[in-house]
Amino acid sequence: MCASASSNGVCTSLAELMNRVREAREAQGLTQAELADRVGVSRKTINTVENAVFVPSTVIALKLARALEEPVERLFSLAGE
């Protein structure tokens, strides 16, 4: 988990990343547990992503996008964009 941006820009801080995972999940009528099963993570991971407590890895972000049938850019964006 990343809590702040590194000097080389590899890690994004929680304040910089916006996500629409909850919106997309609810639009499909999925529970957090159902989405977690589709992605292969725990329900708690889905909850922490939705509540901006955890910045997901690239792999998890891509799996979320696939499971929710959304482009990753629709689910995740930088604040202010």
Radius of gyration in angstroms for the set of CA atoms belonging to the chain, rounded to a whole number = 12
Cα dist from 42 to 12, 32, 49, 51, whole Å? 22, 9, 11, 15
The pTM is what? 0.81
Angle of CA points 60, 12, 54, to nearest 5°? 50
Task: Please report, for the chain, the start and end positions of each structural domain, with discontinuous segments joined by +.
Answer: 17-75
Domain at 17-75, CATH from 1.10.260.40, 3.30.930.10, 3.40.50.10420, 3.40.50.720: 1.10.260.40
Query: Looking at the predicted structure, is the pLDDT value of residue 80 above 90?
Result: no
pLDDT per residue as tens digits for the range 8-63: 444 556 678 899 999 999 999 999 999 999 999 999 999 999 999 999 999 999 99
